[in-house]
Structure 1
């Protein structure tokens, strides 16, 4: 049985200000929770309808109570609360993905999964980007958040103060399929509607683009997560060939 205080805390974590205040976030579903339990993240408490997890720090609850605390239309067995870890420094080796004002939780979650898939451990977001501990982001990462270090910082200052080549994705950039791509660098992708901001654009070293192949070429732009998949694939393909 959930207490009123437990219910209040869990529901409050849907908002960033309370996640920040309590340094806690939620994870739902067997697979996602298991990924976090097997990672460096610290479990605060687990609420489950079945005693199937390898932890003693849990409370058995009813399906009705799970529905009360879940953010999903179809809750899946359990909800866990984990501690938000202290920020880690960004490792400057290899490729780094940087996001400028990406606001959609689904896009950020997918990009975190892509970084995990392509072996890129560092993802840098500007301070206005969507919170990676948003429940929709966590859900869409499918556990990849446990293997990708997401940092929030002043993106312009980060790019400006490090002598690492930055690659920005623009409609008028150089064809990414015809360009020699390095094994290291900062790959910058912009906001879903407006692309990379003007102030950030000024300090980016190289402009790259995914060319359009349609006859009419009428499509305005690609979804930022789709663009990330194509760009990362091309960077990795090029580094594998050399």
Structure 2
């Protein structure tokens, strides 16, 4: 069984460059997450996502990329990612009702000019990250929304030494995730152990955030080690197509 690579794009801007540049980008990201969405590519909007995509393309690895309505890509970037074989999905952020969920879903589909098949949720119910953030984590409600909207899967945020997924007709709920970022992990397993589990026949969902990959050399090392030990890396759609065929 493979590693399923999940990529959640949390931030529009990250603090890189000169001191002034870092301050400006932090301010822009704060505005983007809390009030309005200034998507200025010249000031670094989603530059970290593009850098991360370049890395995966060079490695010959495809992933499922999940976008918030505050981190929507340009048409050119979306077309490039789809053309390279990446899957684009929704990273649910603010919705508290089904109608708000549909609104976020449609924004991602319009921006990416592609049909969304699955989604993830920002946060695990422990922290509210901004005024727009619906911080509670209610996976059964999200599964119900996904089924109602005709989507194919929801990838959740629980952590466990043993990952499970639950099939409901044409919908699949992936309960668990393993974080590449060590500071997010609540399971005592190394990336080498995770790769060994995948090689032994267990599908493993692995999550990384492009912002952390750019900002942390430790995250880059962990992901590089994982990929070097993993024989198969798939998107969620590729995995589901395989088990449903």
Query: TM above 0.5, one fold?
Result: no
What TM-score do you get using the length of structure 1 for normalisation?
Answer: 0.31
Name the structure, 1 or 2, with higher relative contact order (CA <8 Å, separation 6+).
2
Query: Who wins on radius of gyration, i.e. which is larger?
Result: 1
Between Structure 1 and Structure 2, the one with more helix by share is 2
What TM-score do you get using the length of structure 2 for normalisation?
Answer: 0.30
